[in-house]
Amino acid sequence: MQAKAHSTPNIAFIKYWGNRSEELRLPQAASLSMTLDRPTVEIVIQEADAFSVRSFLADGGEKALREKDIERFRKVLSLMRRYLETLHAKDALPEHSAITVRSHIPPAIGLASSAAVFSCLAKAVAGLVAEKITLTDMQTSILARLGSGSAARSIFGGFSTLEEGSGMELGSSWSEQIADERHWLLHDIVLIPALEEKKVGSTEGHALASTSPFYATRIETIRSRRQQECIDAIRMKDFEKLQNVTEEDCLDMHHVMETSSPSLHYLNEDTHRIVNAIKGLRSKEHIPVLFTMDAGPTVHLVCPDEAKDAVLSFANAQKGCTIFKAKVGPGAKII
């Protein structure tokens, strides 16, 4: 008994930062992202005599996993089993399974691999249990969320939310699709200024969010207008509106990070230089392009198809940066 899936990362327009349950990764507020078409992660899961997880890079070489990473997989599988139990499919997932991860994500490019990995694992698990229970994409997104909150959104292609939901159950927050990948062709030109690994991972970072004096206002603003403004911008393909709300939310999240205790500084000098330069280009040449950054110094420049060439030549002119190109994609699939 085995199943295989592939998946990709996503880039958030409304950022997920902070949980109401760290263990279950239940978010404090909703978030919204665009699923990318690359780079891909592939996972095979099969029934085995004992639990194991192995990870391979695109060149075929095996990546040594830290004990911490292996524990995360073990914990996620046990949470997944608990969730399946709530669906009366307790034994659908074998007691032990062997997981093989094949990642085409270049190491240290600042693209969150956890979203791709755990959405992929969730989809593979959905494939593995399919004989006993057919999971909807919404239920599969709950499985993904148990590994990484943002992973829930990569179950869907195009544009999707992670809903805040209510309650403290395993299934109390899930992902929903706003529009599929054919709705709006947007590109993500990724500029990676520093190749250093981030110091504090998002799992630890979420737990600090509520120590910022600006966190309560952030949550209130997302709930009262920002998430809805972003949904409207995507439905109407209103790029200016999307730009305004995305940049406002990104800067707000980094303000919360920087004012938490201890404070988290993910952006560096290069990030600020690139952001200022793109603002300059935008006001001079009226190019539709927005910037956004996750928990690292990497800058994502998102633009519609007509601006792609101009944004790419801007990116190529930035010294010392690695550039990675992606566009809106179809989400996790069983293969």
**Is the Cβ of residue 55 or residue 150 nearer to ligand PMV in the bound state?**
150
- Residue 121, number of CB atoms within 10 A of its CB: 29
- The minimum distance between CB 57 and ligand PMV, in angstroms, equals 20
3-state secondary structure of 170: coil
Secondary structure (H, E, C), 198-240: CCCCHHHHHCCHHHCCCHHHHHHHHHHHHHHHHHHHHHHCCHH
CA-CA distances (angstroms) from residue 181 to 33, 34, 159, 331? 12, 9, 7, 9
Q: 10 phi and psi, to 5 degrees? A: -135, 160
**Is the Cβ of residue 207 or residue 277 nearer to ligand PMV in the bound state?**
207
- The minimum distance between CB 46 and ligand PMV, in angstroms, equals 26
**Is the Cβ of residue 287 or residue 296 nearer to ligand PMV in the bound state?**
296
- The minimum distance between CB 23 and ligand PMV, in angstroms, equals 13
Burial-class residue 104 by CB neighbours within 10 Å (0-12, 13-18, 19+): middle
**Is the Cβ of residue 92 or residue 171 nearer to ligand PMV in the bound state?**
171
**Is the Cβ of residue 129 or residue 274 nearer to ligand PMV in the bound state?**
274
CA-CA distances (angstroms) from residue 215 to 11, 128, 162, 222, 253? 21, 40, 18, 11, 9
Where does this chain bind ligand PMV (CB under 6 A)? Answer: 12, 15-17, 31, 112, 114-115, 148-150, 202-203, 206, 294-295
- The minimum distance between CB 106 and ligand PMV, in angstroms, equals 18
Determine the Cα–Cα distance for residues 155 and 143; give it in Å rounded to an integer.
10
**Is the Cβ of residue 114 or residue 139 nearer to ligand PMV in the bound state?**
114
- The minimum distance between CB 263 and ligand PMV, in angstroms, equals 15
- The minimum distance between CB 252 and ligand PMV, in angstroms, equals 12
